[in-house]
Chains A and B, each alone.
Chain A
């Protein structure tokens, strides 16, 4: 699992690669936490290379979403595959996120 953060003008792109399972989510936390302060911006979570997500991964997304809500930022999730989409559906994430 790799988590790559790219900061552009006005937006931040976070690209996940591989399985975002529980240990991967723990690894990703130190990368994601600093972004909470920048939740006033648009943060794009790119899931193009992500094959799997556990509840820990979902928590990361939800944490970011709440921070953005607080700070007036925006979270966009893009390129999710069908498996992840079904997880999002089961967990109501499809309603909470802007997914494209």
Chain B
């Protein structure tokens, strides 16, 4: 399965799952969000409306107060202008001709007064039954006239009759002055009493009410809001509909609309000089009306605010909030989708990772199955105690070790591929395969390493390399040949512990045709060799200290079973690094070359007399192992050489096999061949006391081994001659 397949598989599997789940979760989330937002919006609207009403009320009352004080300010001015001249008028009653000066004075001194008169009660003066000098200002010109005309008939006017009737100051109902242009006017009248306390005249000031509309509508608290001012009698003085001004009373207006209930209530309140606030629906339009009386004048004023206008801001706000809600919802949806996507990605990545990990696990299993890992590896051999271990830092390792026995030679190696992970592990597998295939027909480490290097350099496109050391130990004589390719020196454990001298050489795979050097060391019984990768000495603890060679040597002290040594090293490294992560593969191989005690040693020789030196080496190894004295070793050598020479020279066999087996008391030597049957024990003994003339040249060999060995027996098994010679020792 390649990476693409893994990707597709993970994708399909996860997408289905996530889509199904995310659809429902998403829907629920959105519904919840809508409900919550809607609730928030309603609560907000409720409080907002209340707030707006409060605000409108405050605004309206403020406006009413402002208009009222504006009106009162002018009214007060007008009142003062008249009152200030009351004493003068009383005084002038005695001099009627001077009375005309008083209105003139009032108009001249008070720009807000449009006209003034002092109207004498009819028949107060006998000579002048009607007398009312009038001063007015029209278009900037002061005009003095008299109101005592039959057309005008001032004694019938309200401004004249009411103050007399009520015996107090009086503000007239507003009226449209037709004399000097269509001007809305009102008149302030004060009764003037003479010395006897009789009302003799009425002093007036006409107040032009043009400013009233301007003042009332001067400030618009809401765009659609408007105000009305009504007179004492309910006549409209200020109205948005100018045709109603002075022509209609509010009650008349109320009767002209269908839904007048609210309006009637309002009218009642206003005409009763109340102040307050009423909801009024007129012509289907909801309004809030704030009303207040205006002192002195008897007028009342209101501010009418259509709710539509009042809550226009709220509606805007509401719209804004709704827009924000929609944007928020969209954001939630987008965020959710993005989260779901991320989840999908995370899930997908983790699933992909899982698949990769599974495959890496398989790769690791395959890789580990390539290296021997059954220990002890050679249970039938007592001369070899070998154990090896590989602890990868990642799933797969770039380290390798290998070993096997061929033709009584132990081949073993260790290597460390540059880099880690899958690429390193693949190169490790290649190295191991090359090692096995080349060693099948080659037992010279220099040639083995050279061949591996050349093969690897040819295919090495990634410039990776392998540090490697290959050892071949002749188990018969302890001669170990080795060749190093850039690997760290193994430890040789004899009486002491030291690093095996190694030529550095270049690592494998670096350069084709590289010359590697062969080295050699004689291993003796009980010697041991420890091969390892630098993952051990360079294991780092949290303080970035390295495990180092000395700690390794300490961990290897003493002579224990190989597996125990490995366990000790592993534990020492683990104790050292503690919680620090393993950064490199840990690989090691411990080989203990044991005495041959009780074990069979074998030598195979071609039927060639030139093979005899090999036999001597073989026999001296056995002798050394059994710690035989030089002379005993020599005599045994002679005996066995004679037996073997006999086979080579006379049996006609192609080869001869020699085996030795020993215990504490004896060494048993067996010589086997497939030549013609021959029993040397049946040959007559040589008489060593014979005279020279009688002595034969031959026969000495058989004589010697019979003499030297303690027991010589022959048997023919199948097509084999088997000669067994025993030498007692100890």
Listed in ascending order, the chain A residues whose CB lies under 8 Å from chain B are: 19, 21-23, 26, 51-56, 58-59, 62-63, 65-66, 69, 82-83, 86-87, 90-92, 95-96
Contact = CB atoms under 8 A, between A and B. Distances in A.
Given A22-B641, A23-B609, A55 B700 contact: yes
A95 B688 contact: yes
7 contacts: A22-B645, A69-B692, A69-B693, A83-B631, A91-B686, A91-B707, A95-B689
A66 B690 CA distance: 13
Given A54-B701, A90-B707, A83 B692 contact: no
B703 interface: yes
A62 B631 contact: no
A54 B642 contact: yes
Interface string B540-574: 00000000000000000000000000000000000
Contacts of A90: 688, 703-704, 707-708
B42 interface: no
B634 A52 contact: yes
A6 to B, nearest CB: 26
Interface of B: 609-610, 612-613, 616, 630-631, 634-635, 637-638, 641-642, 645, 686-690, 692-693, 695, 697-698, 700-701, 703-704, 707-708
A59 B697 contact: yes
A23 B645 CA distance: 9
A95 B642 CA distance: 22
A83 B700 contact: no
Nearest to B633: A83
Main secondary structure of the interface of B (DSSP, over half): helix
Contacts of A58: 700
A5 to B, nearest CB: 21
Contacts of A19: 616
Contacts of B642: 54-55
A55 B698 CA distance: 8
Q: 4 tightest A-B contacts by CB?
A: A92-B688, A55-B701, A55-B700, A90-B707
Contacts, number: 77
B645 A54 contact: yes
Contact of B689 (A51, A52, A66, A92): A92
B691 to A, nearest CB: 9
Contacts of A54: 638, 641-642, 645, 701
A87 B635 contact: yes
A66 B638 contact: no
Given A23-B612, A63-B697, A83-B631, A91 B688 contact: yes
A91 B612 CA distance: 22
B633 to A, nearest CB: 9
Main secondary structure of the interface of A (DSSP, over half): helix
Contacts of A66: 692, 697
B641 A83 contact: no
A19 B701 CA distance: 16
B638 A52 contact: yes
B645 A56 contact: yes
B637 A65 contact: no
B641 A86 contact: no
Contacts of B698: 59
A60 to B, nearest CB: 10
A30 B396 CA distance: 65
A23 B695 contact: no
A83 B634 contact: yes
Nearest to A22: B645
Nearest to B704: A55
Nearest to A54: B641
A22 B609 CA distance: 7
Nearest to B638: A54
B703 A91 contact: yes
Contacts of A87: 635, 638, 704
A56 B687 CA distance: 18
A32 to B, nearest CB: 13
Nearest to A84: B634
B610 A23 contact: yes
B700 A96 contact: no
A92 B634 contact: no
A49 B663 CA distance: 34
A21 B631 contact: no
A22 B634 contact: no
A90 B709 CA distance: 12
Contact of A23 (B613, B688, B700, B701): B613
Contacts of A96: 692, 695
A55 B688 CA distance: 14
A35 B642 CA distance: 26
Contacts of A62: 695, 697, 700
A60 B125 CA distance: 201
